[in-house]
């Protein structure tokens, strides 16, 4: 276990390095990517651009530029090329918003997905099963930005049931306002996953329910409730928990960009999207590292939890 | 004779499928007395496993329909409610399944899986139940049982797992044990040990055993009585000796002829019964074995009752229209024993 974690941490260092190099290179080769030219603005003399280039070190070789950027990132001194705001401060400001959104949505989609999956598995072939199946496919097929825009427009702007976007910290306006602002984004982000999870749970439960040990459990005279929870669900949820950990890591690491933007939550994802629009390399680098970090961490956690849930799996 | 513990009368199981109704079990009747071992034998698809699982209600589904009665003492297992069945399962009737590799839940510890059964039926503390489990595991020959209760199934071999299944089955001291091909998935030396455990169980606690198998070697080892099933029906039933030394039904002749025996000269090629068992959704009229039988004659399209046809053996019943004399004549005698190479069997 300890060896496993150490190896994973080393691997994570490698992944983060590779990702950061890739992103850095991409932003240096794309057209119109010269930061000095964009920082100087329009209608300036080449001398001004050159001065900025020297001042910010854009005249140095790429490896040196990369090293400086990374060093500043880890010392917390990295600032945006665009507005000179400290990148790490911006991310720290966005973290509670992104976490509030993704954690809430992940809980909603897990609970709703498992409940619907179990419901349809128990009624496989029944019309309610087919109805939920169709709804799940509709949920999977709806783009987040479209669903989010519809929800924000009709339920927020038109009907006034929900606030018109924005984030309300608990420390300022209390728990109710926090939930009130997040409810729509939660549901919108969760919709796709509820659809996927209900399908996955349905099929794993139907697989498990015909397993020999479930028949053994019935032959033992266990109450049906125990057969379902201790034997069917306990086994069929192993792949679901795995999937959940990976999806949650992905959502934090960038999957919530659209939802954050549609509802103007000002989280890390929205910051990322805006920075890309401005070809602002430092925040893009920083958020990429942030996202990659969570994705790798959750991958590792999933492996550990998987081994805990299934005794046949050993971490080696 | 003692009262039967389990009295199965005219049990019928049909499954509705897309290809029509499958008559998996048709008019099956037998009795099981305390301490007795009844072996149900037949080839794959003969309905023996369905019969066994139906007794525990494990074949109940929206597509299944049932007929007849199966009385365990006063409770009819066929018409019992789910709650009544649940109370009986594991406590009065326990079951051992064919594949010990998949019959235990891979994510729970061995001990917990048996404790779970005990506590479903008895008001007993976790700790007391676990003590009993350790004792049970010791009894079925699992070394260091005190430690092994916290092992997971994948840490056991197939034979060990089947011992665990037997310990589980014994845990509430059931009156009836149903063993569905308990040794099929095991290698021969382990088979012998598992049969030994079952024999000991019967002797110590007087448990009646319904043994479902296609292995006549296992039957000869342990059974008191035999019921031979073919295409959902019992075609012949009698004591071990009656079936092995005076088989009445041509299908039984074929079955007995197709086993290797160390006490006989080996035939050049092991005899087999020609043809295939009929589809259970489209069975021949009358005797189901008719299309594969060499001795078919004009009575065969009539439905054969399971009845006493041999005059001298009251418990020996079969479903063949041939007269007892014709049967004895056609099973060619060799060396004073039944030469099963001939008769209804092609070599």
Residue A211 with chain B: CB contacts under 8 Å: 102
Does residue A221 belong to the interface with chain B, where contact is any CB pair within 8 Å? yes
Highest mean pLDDT among A5-9, A214-218, B186-190: A214-218
The closest CB to that of A312, out of B86, B106, B117, belongs to: B106
Taking CB atoms and an 8 Å limit, are B116 and A223 in contact across chains? no
Q: What is the mean pLDDT of residues A255-261?
A: 87
Determine contact, residues B344/B258, Cβ cutoff 8 Å. no
A132 vs chain B: nearest CA distance in angstroms?
21
A to B CB pairs, distance under 8 Å? 77
Taking CB atoms and an 8 Å limit, are A309 and B107 in contact across chains? yes
pLDDT tier, B81 (very low <50, low <70, confident <90, very high otherwise): very high
Q: Which of residues 253-272 of B touch A (CB under 8 A)?
A: none
The closest CB to that of A218, out of B58, B104, B121, belongs to: B58
Q: Please state, in angstroms and rounded to a whole number, the distance separating the CA atoms of residues A218 and A144.
A: 43
- The share of chain A scoring above pLDDT 70, in percent, equals 100
Q: Return the ∠ at Cα B61 (arms to B60 and B63), rounded to 5°.
A: 125
Q: What is the mean pLDDT of residues A71-77?
A: 88
Taking CB atoms and an 8 Å limit, are A212 and B103 in contact across chains? yes
Q: Return the ∠ at Cα B62 (arms to B117 and B52), rounded to 5°.
A: 50
B341 vs chain A: nearest CA distance in angstroms?
39
Taking CB atoms and an 8 Å limit, are B102 and A215 in contact across chains? no
Q: Please state, in angstroms and rounded to a whole number, the distance separating the CA atoms of residues B319 and A177.
A: 80
The closest CB to that of B121, out of A221, A230, A235, belongs to: A221
Residue B86 with chain A: CB contacts under 8 Å: 221-224
Residues A289-313 have pLDDT tens digits of 888 888 888 888 888 888 888 888 8
Residues A9-50 have pLDDT tens digits of 888 889 889 999 998 888 888 877 778 887 887 788 888 888
In this prediction, residue B262 carries a pLDDT of 65
Residue B60 with chain A: CB contacts under 8 Å: none
pLDDT tier, A134 (very low <50, low <70, confident <90, very high otherwise): very high
Does residue A7 belong to the interface with chain B, where contact is any CB pair within 8 Å? no
Residue B87 with chain A: CB contacts under 8 Å: 221
Question: Closest residue of A to B115, CA-based?
Answer: A220
The closest CB to that of B154, out of A221, A230, A312, belongs to: A312
Residue A241 with chain B: CB contacts under 8 Å: none
Does residue A211 belong to the interface with chain B, where contact is any CB pair within 8 Å? yes
pLDDT tier, A254 (very low <50, low <70, confident <90, very high otherwise): confident
Q: What is the bridge-based pairing of β-strands B37-41 and B225-230?
A: parallel
pLDDT tier, B335 (very low <50, low <70, confident <90, very high otherwise): very low
In this prediction, residue B347 carries a pLDDT of 32
User: What's the predicted TM-score (pTM) here?
Assistant: 0.81
A127 vs chain B: nearest CA distance in angstroms?
15
A218 vs chain B: nearest CA distance in angstroms?
8
pLDDT tier, B261 (very low <50, low <70, confident <90, very high otherwise): low
Residues B34-43 have pLDDT tens digits of 999 999 998 8
Q: Please state, in angstroms and rounded to a whole number, the distance separating the CA atoms of residues B203 and B200.
A: 5
Question: Closest residue of A to B90, CA-based?
Answer: A220
pLDDT tier, B266 (very low <50, low <70, confident <90, very high otherwise): low
Taking CB atoms and an 8 Å limit, are A311 and B106 in contact across chains? yes
Taking CB atoms and an 8 Å limit, are B87 and A222 in contact across chains? no
Residue B56 with chain A: CB contacts under 8 Å: 218-219
Q: Which of residues 324-343 of B touch A (CB under 8 A)?
A: none
Please state the three-class secondary structure of chain A as a single string: CHHHHHHHHHHHHHHHHHHHHHHHHHHHHCCCCCHHHHHHCCCCCHHHHHHHHHHHCCCCCHHHHHHHHHHHHHHCCCECCCCCCEHHHHHHHHHHHHHHHHHHHHHHHHHHHHHHHHHHHHCCCCHHHHHHHHHHHHHHHCCHHHHHHHHHHHHHHHCCCCCCCCCCCHHHHHHHHHHHHHHHHHHHHHHHHHHHHHHHHHHHHHHHHCCHHHHHHHHCCCCHHHHHHHHHHHHHHHHHHHHHHHHHHHHHHHHCHHHHHHCCCCCHHHHHHHHHHCCCHHHHHHHHHHHHHHHHHHHHHHHHHHHHHCCCCCCC
In this prediction, residue B343 carries a pLDDT of 38
Does residue B200 belong to the interface with chain A, where contact is any CB pair within 8 Å? no
B180 vs chain A: nearest CA distance in angstroms?
12
Taking CB atoms and an 8 Å limit, are A220 and B90 in contact across chains? yes
Residues A170-195 have pLDDT tens digits of 888 888 889 888 999 999 999 999 99
Mean pLDDT of all residues belonging to chain A = 89
A202 vs chain B: nearest CA distance in angstroms?
19
In this prediction, residue B265 carries a pLDDT of 67
Could you tell me the maximum CA-CA distance found in chain A, to the nearest angstrom?
A: 87
pLDDT tier, A89 (very low <50, low <70, confident <90, very high otherwise): very high
């Amino acid at each position: 276990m300890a060896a496993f974690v150490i190896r994973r941490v080393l691997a994570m260092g490698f992944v983060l390095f590779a990702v950061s190099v890739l992103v850095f290179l991409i932003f240096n080769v794309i057209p119109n990517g010269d930061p000095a030219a964009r920082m100087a603005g329009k209608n300036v003399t080449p001398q001004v651009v050159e001065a900025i280039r020297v001042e910010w070190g854009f005249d140095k070789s790429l490896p040196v530029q990369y090293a400086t950027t990374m060093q500043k990132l880890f010392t917390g001194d990295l600032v945006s090329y665009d507005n000179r705001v400290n990148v790490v401060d911006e991310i720290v400001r966005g973290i509670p918003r992104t976490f509030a959104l993704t954690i809430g949505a992940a809980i909603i989609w897990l609970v709703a997905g498992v409940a619907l999956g179990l419901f349809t598995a128990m009624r496989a072939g029944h019309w309610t099963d087919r109805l939920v199946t169709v709804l799940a496919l509709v949920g999977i097929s709806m783009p987040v930005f479209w669903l989010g825009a519809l929800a924000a427009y009709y339920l927020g702007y038109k009907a006034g049931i929900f606030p018109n976007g924005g984030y309300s910290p608990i420390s300022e306006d209390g728990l109710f306002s926090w939930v009130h602002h997040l409810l729509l984004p939660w549901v919108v982000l969760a919709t796709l996953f509820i659809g996927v999870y209900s399908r996955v749970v349905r099929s794993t439960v139907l697989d498990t329910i015909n397993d020999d040990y479930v028949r053994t459990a019935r032959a033992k005279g266990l109450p049906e409730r125990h057969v379902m929870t201790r034997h069917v669900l306990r086994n069929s949820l192993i792949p679901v928990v795995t999937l959940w950990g990976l999806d949650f890591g992905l959502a934090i690491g960038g999957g919530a960009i659209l939802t954050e933007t549609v509802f103007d939550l000002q989280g890390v994802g929205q910051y990322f999207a805006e920075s890309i629009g401005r070809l602002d390399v430092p925040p893009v680098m920083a958020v990429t590292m942030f996202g990659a970090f969570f994705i790798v961490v959750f991958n590792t956690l999933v492996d550990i939890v998987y081994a805990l849930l299934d005794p046949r799996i050993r971490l080696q | 004779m003692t009262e039967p513990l389990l009295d199965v009368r005219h049990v019928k199981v049909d499954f509705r499928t897309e290809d029509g109704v499958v008559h998996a079990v048709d008019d099956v009747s037998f009795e099981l007395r305390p301490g007795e071992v009844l072996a149900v034998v037949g080839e794959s698809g003969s309905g023996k496993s369905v019969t066994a699982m139906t007794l525990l209600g494990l074949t109940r589904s929206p597509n299944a329909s049932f007929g007849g009665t199966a009385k365990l003492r006063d409770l009819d297992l066929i018409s019992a409610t789910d709650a009544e069945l649940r109370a009986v399962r594991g406590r009065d009737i326990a079951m051992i399944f064919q594949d010990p590799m998949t019959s235990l839940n891979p994510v729970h510890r061995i001990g917990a899986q048996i404790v779970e059964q005990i506590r479903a039926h008895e008001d007993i503390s976790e700790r007391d139940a676990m003590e009993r489990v350790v004792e049970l595991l010791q009894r079925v020959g699992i070394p260091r049982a005190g430690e092994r209760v916290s092992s997971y199934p994948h840490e056991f071999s197939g034979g060990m797992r089947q011992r665990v299944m037997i310990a589980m089955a014994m845990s509430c001291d059931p009156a009836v044990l149903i063993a569905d091909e308990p040794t099929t998935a095991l290698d021969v030396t382990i088979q012998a040990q598992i049969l030994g455990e079952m024999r000991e169980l019967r002797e110590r606690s007087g448990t009646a055993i319904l043994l479902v198998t296609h292995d006549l070697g296992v039957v000869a080892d342990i059974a008191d009585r035999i019921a031979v099933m073919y295409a959902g029906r019992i075609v012949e039933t009698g004591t071990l000796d009656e079936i092995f030394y005076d088989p009445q039904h041509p299908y039984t002749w074929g079955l007995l002829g197709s086993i290797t025996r160390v006490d006989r000269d080996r035939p050049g090629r092991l005899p087999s019964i020609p043809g295939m068992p009929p589809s259970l959704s489209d069975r021949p009229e009358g005797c189901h074995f008719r299309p594969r039988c060499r001795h078919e004659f004009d009575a065969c399209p009539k439905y054969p009752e399971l009845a006493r046809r041999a005059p001298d053996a009251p418990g020996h019943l079969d479903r063949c229209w041939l007269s007892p004399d014709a049967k004895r004549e056609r099973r060619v005698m060799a060396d004073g024993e039944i030469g099963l190479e001939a008769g209804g069997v092609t070599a």
